[in-house]
A and B are shown apart, each in its own frame.
Chain A
Amino acid sequence: MNKHVQPVQRAVVGKGIAHDSAKKHVSGEAVYIDDMADIPGTLHAALILSPVAHGTLNGVDTAKAEAMAGVAAIVTAGDIPGHNDIAPILSDEPLFAEQALDYIGMPVGAVAAETFEQAVRAAHAVQFDLTEQTPVLDIEEAHARGEHVIAPQRLISGDVDAALDAADRIVEGRLEIGGQDHFYLETQIAYAIPGEDGDMTVHSSTQHPTEVQHHVAHVLGGYANAVDVQVRRMGGGFGGKESQATIIACAAALLARKTGCPVRMRLKRSADMSATGKRHDMVSRWRVGVTDEGRIVGADVEYLARAGNTADLTGPVITRSLTHTDNAYHFPAARLVGHACKTNTVSNTAFRGFGGPQGVITSEAMIDQIARELKMDPNRVRAINYYGPDTGETTPYGQPVEQNRLVEVTDLVLQSAEWQRRRAEIDEHNAADPVIRRGLAMMPVKFGISFNLPSLNQAGALVHVYQDGSVHLNHGGTEMGQGLFVKVAQVVAEVFQLDMEAVKITATHTGKVPNTSPTAASTGSDLNGMAAFKAATAIRARMTPVAAQHFEVAEDEIVFREGRVHAGNRSISFAELARMSWAARVSLSEAGHYATPKIHWDGKTMKGRPFFYFTYGAAVAEVAIDTLTGENRCLRADILQDCGASLNTAIDLGQIEGAFVQGMGWLTCEELWWDDKGRLRTVGPSTYKIPGSRDVPPAFNVAILESAPNAEETVFRSKAVGEPPLMLAVSVWLALRDAVASCGKPGLSPNLRTPATPEAVLDAIDDIRARSA
């Protein structure tokens, strides 16, 4: 059982401290890359994009574009001095198309001009000599033709065929899971400034400065030590600026190298949505063996994922789908297979949850289907399949499910959401056969924290204490709005027992902290917080003897508290100790490094302990659907999320609420729509609809699980929070299924694709009514 201990009272950590840039955000003073003043001579750049989904490029005619006012330079693949390759994991993923045109919006080159407007107009004026071919646009067609970007991944445990043979019954299903555009409000941007000796400074809106650094060096044909990447803040990332930012940064650096001028490149929204990757849409198919009591005995699940034209991060995305297909449920035997289908559409990439959401929704679809076909309460089916708290049951990839809080979060949320009363009311309402049906659902989420690839689970931080007692903080994590910088600053302030004002937050900078991991996989504060903790703790440990000597006491009598350093009832200010330490020739600077312990992973057998720990959460959602039009709405959501001992309750609350609403968007209103030529027709907010303020459930009760410090030694016993609550929005989709199910006979399971647009809901109603007739 969980050992719930009362959290220690701390000075800074655990408080709901506002985002460090909040005042600058509201006043408009926060500087994003497009707000940086132009260095004299700065050129502005735009990408040249492929007009066809599949074709061979015979030549590019830039004469007309080059003659246009203000145009300074045009680059294509032939102008790349180094390697035309920006693959984050594999190789041969080009920055600019050479012969093969693989999707509409694929970068073919870039233009630099005196103004951004001139660059965009010139990019549109470039002419292509190309031979068009028929594109492959459908995932299942690509799979049938054997078109894949990487080999299939298979996660196997036990003998699933034997388990299915022995099962009382088999439940079979298929789910179309839609993709999602990140729709960060700040589109992709980079500002490349050439220096002497071939140096290049790049301000990049990126979650992965090190990858930008390495790829810029690779593309320019130089070493990483010549490239300096900085990012103070992004206007949103959500995974969309993990690998994709390299396209923009490399193109800007290439133009800067060619012209010798600083070059700022940003993407118009339509170019951003055409040229850069999204969440993978997938088709999942399953055969699940169950007992008559609803217990799963084996799960045979297959995913067809839309990789797009290249692998990019599709491999690890699928890995996370496979390692989250169990969600909260024990599969005694499992065969989980993922195919990365190659299509003539943009290469899909990281997006908050990183394949986890597709795994979790598949898991919950299976559970809901089992319950409906067995005419059981879905929550009962969930409960009997939960990983037992004390049984030592392991996941299909072999990791024991520890610190199991599934029953706790489920019970608490069912109680706070008044499940029983509302379930009865909704059933009564629907029994009268009204046009407006209601639905209710609960679901848990168990989410594994750590990058699946062990080597990424490390971080660095650089902390300086100056002689006036002020602190300079730098680390490898990036700020995209999630509040990482304030959390890490809290950690450092806590170590030194200083006010937050004493800790200077600084831009992520590859020259200060090298070889960073992407700020991704929810690990930002776990990794960078711990690296900063170690750096600050080391400095404090060196300052302590100086204080002990000053007060002529033992070191263990020195206490750092409220900005001062105490020995009994005597004290000096932290600044005084800093000055004394300098005078005593003690180093006040430290590079901290942290590597997550305990984790290991064998990518070939897909076994190991990929995750340092799990987070747990649960949600109850209530919806209404209009059976005449399919319009739908979430009326109430109750959420409980495990954040361990939260580093910052205000920031964590914001992450939970924001992730849930973003997840709702993924599952309801956000629809990516390609025409039969392979052109994405939803490339702006007029056609691609993310949730607005009125779409938030009018009753939205969000809570953080109390008194639940992490049993693992994370920074101040906190837990990661960025991604897990996004999957709680699957409760909204389950509630929609529940409402649709009320239109059909008992025993039937709805077929509701995502996103559950009004049209998808109406189709599901038609389908279940037809099957009921």
Chain B
Amino acid sequence: MTTHTAFVLNGEPVATQVRPDTTVLDLLRDHLGRKGTKEGCAEGDCGACTILFRRGGDAETPMLAANSCIMSVAQIDGGEIVTVEGLAGDGAVLNAVQDEMAKNGSSQCGFCTPGIAVALTGLLACNPDPDEDAIHDALAGNLCRCTGYRPIVDAARAAAARMRAEPAPAPATGENLVTSHTDAGGATAHRPRDLRGLLMLRRDHPDAVLLAGGTDLGVPLAGYETTWPETITTGHVAELRRVETGDGRWTFGAAVTWEEVLKAVAEDYPSFATLIRRFGSTQIRSMGTIGGNIGTASPIGDGPPALIALGATITLVSLEGGERTMRLEDFFLDYRKTELRPDEVIASVTVPRARAGEILRTYKISKRYDQDISTVCGAYWLAMDGGTVSDIRIAYGGMAATPKRASHAEAALRGKALTVATAREAGAALASDFKPLTDWRGSATYRERTAAGLLERLARDVAGETVEVMAL
């Protein structure tokens, strides 16, 4: 029985005996005295708490930005963390990003600034020559209320140029071992290393929180609205961390992160890649997993509509019941209700790769382009036979209690040419598919109108028109 959590912080080994359901932000600030990392929102949206993180056992992967406010200590054992205090390293006071930010007027009140310096350092470690788009992508998880961002983007560019000219040493990192569990302060975290171990724990601890990236579950934890006396993490389960490619499909282990999914699908499905970039910042994508996004069964998750349109299947597994595989669309039963049984876990998601003559488009409507939750998310997969739609799958998020196929709209287009006129007919058919709700993201009427409008956009997009204001 291990009573501590060990990890590497800014190059130095640290062992702590805090409860594993403590947030990493509270650990850093309240227990380790690292006050540079700030709490701005406690829901993984503002980025003031950004750290660089590498999971234990993932020595080959780069350190990526993550939100320490919604990350729990259960997730960091054996891992590495760099905070703003550790960015410069080697006795230097400031790294190039920090120095350029200080010179460029990139801070006013300064409260978001450490998180931004960390996020941009993470970007430049992976991408030494980022274009404007890549810089915005790296900043999608960081809010600044003072500056208007222009000087921050300028500083990122200037720092990149400097680092290309004279590469600075990367922040210090180290190695550590992942321990199988931690029991501290009355809470336990189990860290199975293989699928069989996970399934045994799942069977034996049905009330334990099954924790993947924690980007959803971590929000009530950060708000002190819940505690997790018992946690089972999936992040070290070898089988769940794999991406298998072959036979015209990918099989993503459930604990594969969205950042990893993004890299895998970007070439086949650029439209899906754009959606993945938009639905979560780097901080969220580096932690959030494909299995978690499906398992949490949110009606407004952006992964499921795209995956359903692509014809993805999901494989569930339990110790007694073995494996079962189903179409992803059949996995969702009702609001936050799924096929998953108490002893089961999501093992993998299988996604067909792109083939000639097939089209995938995804469109997301939200109040803000980046890092927002969809009002409506539409995903459209079409197989074309000449000018005719020979097969079609349309799925929407935000339109019903679950992510759902639009079968009437599909029927309206199947066997027809895809034109503005047929798209409008399909849009009208959506009334038979969905009865959406009104909430703070949009009224029912707006959702209905926009879901239909997106079908017209699809027709125009496939015909080659510029259809999105962000493309201008």
Contacts and interface: CB of A to CB of B under 8 A. Distances in A.
A112 interface: no
Interface stretch (A280-288, A333-341, A478-486): A478-486
B94 A625 contact: no
Which residue among A182, A183, A237, A626 has the maximum number of chain B CB atoms within 10 Å of its CB? Answer: A626
Given A25-B110, A482-B108, A693-B153, A685 B46 contact: yes
Contacts of A684: 41-43, 45
A629 B440 contact: no
Interface string B99-132: 1011101111111111001000000000000001
Interface in A7-35: 16, 18-19, 21-32, 34-35
Given A28-B37, A233-B110, A684-B45, A762 B472 contact: no
Interface residues of B, number: 90
B469 interface: yes
Contact of A235 (B109, B369, B460): B109
A223 interface: no
A236 B109 contact: yes
B105 A669 contact: no
B180 interface: no
A628 B117 contact: no
B41 A631 contact: no
A389 interface: no
A626 to B, nearest CB: 5
B150 A700 contact: yes
B453 interface: yes
Contacts of B371: 692
A25 B102 CA distance: 8
Contact of A624 (B41, B456, B469): B469
B108 A628 contact: no
B238 interface: no
A635 B85 CA distance: 37
B440 A673 contact: yes
Interface stretch (B139-147, B263-271, B333-341, B407-415): B139-147
A182 B88 CA distance: 32
Given A435-B460, A682-B440, A692-B140, A762 B110 contact: no
Interface string B202-220: 0000000000000000010
Interface stretch (B188-196, B228-236, B287-295, B441-449): B441-449
Interface in B13-58: 26, 29-30, 35-46, 48
A235 B112 CA distance: 8
A278 to B, nearest CB: 14
B113 to A, nearest CB: 4
Contacts of A657: 147-148, 150-151
B36 A269 contact: no
A671 B109 contact: no
Nearest to A118: B224
A653 B368 CA distance: 25
B152 interface: yes
Interface stretch (A370-378, A606-614, A658-666): A658-666
Nearest to B137: A694
B373 interface: yes
Contacts of B469: 436, 624-626, 631-633
A269 B135 CA distance: 27
Interface string A222-256: 00000000000111111000000000000000000
A124 interface: yes
A653 B106 CA distance: 11
B148 A696 contact: yes
Contact of A694 (B109, B369, B467): B369
B225 A687 contact: no
Nearest to B103: A18
Nearest to B420: A435
A658 B146 contact: yes
Contact of A629 (B149, B365, B465): B365
B162 interface: no
A689 interface: yes
B146 A236 contact: yes
B373 A686 contact: yes
B223 interface: yes
Interface in A243-302: 268-270
B225 A124 contact: yes
A689 B368 contact: yes
Contacts of B439: 673, 681
A626 B467 CA distance: 8
A603 B433 CA distance: 60
B43 A183 contact: no
Given A482-B108, A633-B472, A758-B367, A35 B147 contact: no
A629 B453 contact: yes
A728 to B, nearest CB: 12
A654 B151 contact: yes
Contacts of A757: 367
Which residue among A23, A658, A685, A692 has the maximum number of chain B CB atoms within 10 Å of its CB? Answer: A692
B185 to A, nearest CB: 11
A120 interface: yes
Contacts, number: 277
A630 B44 CA distance: 27
A629 B108 contact: no
Nearest to A273: B41
B98 interface: yes
Interface in A62-97: none
Nearest to A115: B30
A690 B36 CA distance: 23
Contact of B41 (A120, A660, A685): A685
A483 B146 CA distance: 11
A691 interface: yes
A269 B117 contact: no
Nearest to B85: A28
A201 B160 CA distance: 45
A516 B91 CA distance: 42
Given A681-B440, A692-B369, A186 B41 contact: no
B82 to A, nearest CB: 12
Nearest to A22: B102
A583 B287 CA distance: 66
B372 interface: yes
A695 B368 contact: yes
A713 interface: no
A238 B111 CA distance: 14
Contacts of A28: 35-37, 83-85, 113-114, 117
Nearest to A238: B145
B165 interface: no
A124 B371 CA distance: 29
Contacts of B97: 26
A629 B454 contact: yes
A22 B440 contact: no
A669 B440 CA distance: 12
A78 B49 CA distance: 38
Given A28-B36, A29-B36, A186-B38, A631 B468 contact: yes
Contacts of B41: 269, 684-686
A693 B85 contact: no
Contacts of A671: 367, 440
Which residue among A481, A629, A635, A662 has the maximum number of chain B CB atoms within 10 Å of its CB? Answer: A629
Given A185-B48, A436-B469, 16 more contacts: A21-B107, A25-B101, A28-B85, A34-B39, A120-B224, A183-B143, A185-B109, A658-B148, A661-B148, A673-B439, A689-B366, A691-B368, A692-B136, A692-B371, A693-B370, A695-B369
10 contacts: A19-B110, A22-B106, A23-B102, A236-B111, A481-B108, A630-B446, A661-B147, A661-B149, A758-B367, A763-B446
Interface of A: 16, 18-19, 21-32, 34-35, 115-117, 120-121, 124, 182-187, 233-238, 268-270, 435-436, 480-483, 624-626, 628-633, 635, 650-651, 653-654, 657-662, 669, 671, 673, 681-682, 684-687, 689-696, 698, 700, 702, 757-759, 762-763
* Nearest 9 interchain pairs by C-beta: A28-B36, A481-B109, A235-B111, A25-B110, A628-B453, A481-B108, A673-B440, A661-B148, A28-B84
